[in-house]
Amino acid sequence: MGHLGAVKGYLLDMDGVLYRGNTVRPGAREWIAYLHEHNIPYLCVTNNATRTSAEYEAKLARLGIPITAERILGSAETTAAWLQRQAPGATVYAIGTEGLRSELRRHALQVVDGVPPSEVNAVVVGLDPTLTYEKLKIATLAINAGATFIGTNPDATYPSEEGLAPGCGAILAAVERATGQRPIIIGKPEPIIFREALRRLGLQAEEVAMVGDRLDTDIEGGHRMGMTTILILGGVTSEEELEITPILPDYVFADLGELLRAVQEGRA
């Protein structure tokens, strides 16, 4: 088990940890203020590919949480950067929001619609609130014609104010079923996004704590990398699920306020 006293920096999930929908989670503002006051390195790492880092900065500002875009790493940006390294200028069909599409274009990738499936180099799938059968069909045809199948993240659900809603993983499952191919996953728990986060922090994995609300992405990914793992309840994972899961975090807190008190009191 990692000890919080040895932690030099933090990776913070966002949805379900800092906020849920448009509601700030308890202790979120105080936790960020503490990190700023003590100059503790941190980076927000989110699997949500619907927004750019600048859009996340604006949302956090509206919620009263002062985090700049430079401290935010999303799976959309990470996916675009990875694909540009693997296939510069690739032709991409994207299922997702304008936030994902703009990140792909920003990295000099050609986002296309209405081209023959054989002309598509890669299919990138993110969360898409306007998902249609036609989008699934185009993605399937392109992958079957040889396009690389990429998923921004595997999250089956995401926490909303109404409850758990279908996530990117639910869309990936449909395309995987139709094509018989497994996607390359960029976001948590896979190492691609974690390696980029550590590079930006300038720290080693054993010096970092991953703070998240999902066992199968935040905690599992943190374990794989050799990080200290901290689960925040009230997002995706319940206390009941903790009793039956084989994925166990190093620490469990109700919210960031409780984590902050533990760190300040030196009892974690």
Q: What are the boundaries of each domain within the chain?
A: 4-47+188-265, 76-185
Amino acid letter at 86?
Q
Give yes or no on whether 4-47+188-265 and 76-185 have one common fold: yes
Distance CA 107, CA 84 (A): 6
In the predicted model, what is the mean pLDDT of the chain? Answer: 94
Q: CA torsion sign, 128 to 134 to 140 to 144?
A: negative
CATH 3.40.50.1000 is the classification of domain 76-185:
yes
Binding residues for Mg(2+), by number, are: 13, 15, 213
The answer for residues whose C-beta is within 8 angstroms of residue 227's C-beta and 6 or more apart is 2, 11, 205, 206, 208, 209, 210
Binding residues for substrate, by number, are: 188
Catalytic (active site) residue 13: yes
Q: Which residues pair with 93 in a beta bridge?
A: 123
Taking the CB of residue 118, how many other CB atoms lie within 10 A of it?
11
Catalytic residue among 15, 218, 250, 255: 15
Confidence band (pLDDT; 50, 70, 90) for 2? Answer: low
| Residue 10: alpha-carbon gap to chain centroid | 15
Catalytic (active site) residue 255: no
Binding residues, by number, are: 13, 15, 188, 213
CATH superfamily of 4-47+188-265: HAD superfamily/HAD-like (3.40.50.1000)
Q: What digits encode the pLDDT tens for the residues 22-60? A: 999 999 999 999 999 999 999 999 999 999 999 999 999
Stated pTM of the model: 0.89
Catalytic residue among 13, 155, 250, 255: 13
